[in-house]
Amino acid sequence: MKKLYSALMTAFNEDGSINEAGTREMIRYNIDVNKVDGLYVGGSTGENFLLSPEQKKQVFKIAIDEAKSDVDLIAQVGSLDLNESKFLAKFVTDLGYPKISAVTPFYYKYTFEEIKDYYNEILKGVDNKLLIYSIPALTGVGLSIEQFAELFENPKIIGIKYTNADFYLLERVRNKFPDKLILSGFDEMLLPALALNVDGCIGSTYNLNAPRVRAEMDAFDAGDIDKARELQKVSNDAITALIQNDIYPSLKLVFEEMGVHAGFTKAPMAKPTDEMRADAKKIYQDYFKK
């Protein structure tokens, strides 16, 4: 059975401090209502790259304390500071996270040898398994099938969070590495990813949309492609509306409409305007109201 993971959001207070109660509410909603298989903690959706190391540690502690062993947990520890990544990899492993993930190093134009060293260094002395977080549209780092093969020479690297619109590469990777874990990371492209036999998916909109996504995955597995296609269309309509209303604050505003205290986004992300709130209410009514 293919696995469904929400990319966990972080609730913030207006001053940018972490709202622990709100973060716990989102975790519980994902587990108790969305019935997700797992949570991807510390990724882009959690606004991770805006957080201090201490805030990252706080989020990792909150998530595992609240989720316990109810669902699978993946901790994203990648950072531009390799020492921070290594420290966080050990920190979350000691907390009990069964898997870690790390975004490819970005901003500077790293060579592949530097990227490979980065992953191998993160895993040195850490008894854990790692998913490469490949998201070329935001990092500018694209990996070839030959480069994935080199990274997989490290037995602790077990797969990829594949957030990439290159489906030719996905097909090649899936068929060359049938035993590796590949989780699709683009919510709007889930259906073609399912057709290429990914093992599951991780997504930001799944915080709100997990029941519809689960229904799509079930329809696909049952061979009802027309139903799966229709469900993907509705999901994509909702995603388009969220993007047009500024997706990160809008995800939290819709969560508030659902009775979950999701807090604010962290500056320099936008604070919600009255217009954004009104549009988020309409998105909730059009796509998520039960």
| 98: CB partners within 8 A, 6+ apart | 72, 73, 128, 129
Catalytic residue among 56, 129, 161, 266: 161
225 belongs to an annotated ligand binding site:
no
Are 38 and 73 contacting, i.e. CB atoms less than 8 angstroms apart? Answer: yes
Q: How far apart are CA 65 and CA 71, in angstroms?
A: 12
The rounded distance, in Å, linking the Cα atoms of 43 and 286 is: 28
Is residue 163 annotated as involved in ligand binding? Answer: yes
* DSSP state letters, 80-95: SSHHHHHHHHHHHHHH
Determine the Cα–Cα distance for residues 118 and 68; give it in Å rounded to an integer.
29
Q: Per the residue annotation, which of 29, 119, 133, 284 is the catalytic one?
A: 133
Q: Is 133 a catalytic residue?
A: yes
What amino acid is encoded at 51 in this protein? L
Cα radius of gyration rounded to whole Å, the chain:
18
Give the bridge partners for 160, in sequence order.
Answer: 132, 182
274 annotated binding-site participant: no
Q: Is 179 exposed, middle or buried (0-12, 13-18, 19+ CB in 10 A)?
A: exposed
Q: Which residues contact 106 (CB under 8 A, 6 or more apart)?
A: 80, 138, 139, 140, 141
Query: What are residue 85's phi and psi, to 5 degrees?
Result: -60, -45
85 is in an annotated binding site: no
Is 185 assigned a ligand-binding role in the annotation? Answer: yes
Query: Token digits for 142?
Result: 């694209």
Residues 6+ away with beta carbon under 8 Å from 166: 136, 142
Q: Is 44 assigned a ligand-binding role in the annotation?
A: yes
> What are 53's two structure tokens?
């190391």
Is 290 considered catalytic here?
Answer: no
Query: Which residue numbers are catalytic?
Result: 133, 161
Binding residues for pyruvate: 45, 202
- Show binding-site residues for aceneuramate: 44-45, 163, 185, 187-188, 204
Write out the binding residues: 44-45, 163, 185, 187-188, 202, 204
